[in-house]
Amino acid sequence: MKILITGGSGKLGTAVVADLVAHGHDVVNADVVAPPTAQCPYLEVDLRDFGEVFEAISGVDLGRPSDAVVHLAATPAPGRRSNARTFQNNIVGTYNVFEACRRARVHNVVYASTEIIFGLPFATPPAYLPVDEEAPARPESAYGLSKLLSEEMAKQFCRWEPELKCFGLRFSNVQSPEDYANFAGFQERPEERHWNLWGYIDARDGAKAVRLALESPLKGAEVFTIANAETTQSMGNSELVGRCFPEVRLPDGLGENETLLSIDKARRVLGYEPDHHWWSEPG
Ligand SMILES: NC(=O)c1ccc[n+]([C@@H]2O[C@H](COP(=O)([O-])OP(=O)(O)OC[C@H]3O[C@@H](n4cnc5c(N)ncnc54)[C@H](O)[C@@H]3O)[C@@H](O)[C@H]2O)c1
């Protein structure tokens, strides 16, 4: 496929570009900053400018209309910029990408959503565990709100365009291989990771999930939680949850180190299965 990726210069984007190129796709990276290392052609695009986005996605000048779009570019967390600027960047950027896809008749769109929608940092305990896509949305920041509203935009664009697939991947906390050096410290202070239910996503597994979502023949707006299969901790779930969320009961049959961010839907619908485990990574 000819794939236009936004945010291909970033942490997750670098892994996604590498994976898509390795699987034979023809990828162009549209980002406001150049990548540290070029893995594919790069186009400087500011997503807040609709003309720039439309030109990139439709391939007007490149002579290369896109078959699919992966939309990762965003201000990727709360607290990096003012709330208003985060909200504006993410909402306007996402609208421009979805609208450019609609006008250019690109019907295969995968975009980054986030675990934050589940209610991170869980000052209010989760309603149940493991959390899944049916859990009530509870964004606690302008960043989380921008992502929840992006999911709503995806639903409405799919209502307008029945041929459209617009899949949102609710990524957990992204870890590049060099980040595994931090995991020893996580074991010493397990309470410090309660804010995202001890979840993580290896960037390479996140990239695999993007590829599987692109390859899915389904249509419509769906969201999928994308995390690794186990928590960041060697301490078991009974003790972690007992310490940090004593009011929440764990279901029978849940593995002691099994992720508390359920990936069952991604497994079932996309055939997603993570390949990496923090405990077997050099750290
Ligand atoms: N990092 C995480 O732990 C995490 C967790 C859940 C979801 N996500 C989501 O995954 C996506 C990628 O996150 P990341 O960690 O790789 O972030 P990152 O900051 O490393 O990369 C984001 C990229 O988007 C680009 N960008 C931002 N605004 C832009 C604009 N207006 N126009 C063009 N390019 C722009 C940046 O230049 C950067 O290269 C984001 O949508 C983020 O919200 C990240």
Domains in the chain (CATH in brackets) are 2-280 (3.40.50.720)
Using most ligand atoms within 8 A of CB, pick from 19, 46, 171 the residue to mutate for ligand 1: 171
Residue in 143, 180, 200, 272 annotated catalytic: 143
What pLDDT was estimated at residue 64? 82
Output the CA 27–ligand 1 centroid distance in Å.
17
For residue 36, give every residue at least 6 positions away whose Cβ sits within 8 Å of its Cβ, in sequence order, or none: 9, 14
What's the CA gap between 262 and 240, in Å, rounded?
Answer: 17
Query: Has 143 been annotated as catalytic?
Result: yes
Express each pLDDT in 155-188 by its tens digit.
999 999 999 999 999 999 999 999 999 999 999 9
Residue 61 has pLDDT above 80, yes or no: no
Give the atom of ligand 1 at the shortest distance from the alpha carbon of 174. 3
Q: What is the pTM of this model?
A: 0.98
The residue among 79, 78, 96 whose CA lies nearest residue 32 is 96
What's the CA gap between 198 and 261, in Å, rounded?
Answer: 9
What's the CA gap between 153 and 39, in Å, rounded?
Answer: 31
Given pLDDT bands bounded at 50, 70 and 90, which one contains residue 283? confident
For residue 196, give every residue at least 6 positions away whose Cβ sits within 8 Å of its Cβ, in sequence order, or none: 115, 120, 121, 122, 172, 173, 261
Give the atom of ligand 1 at the shortest distance from the alpha carbon of 147. 43
What's the CA gap between 216 and 210, in Å, rounded?
Answer: 10
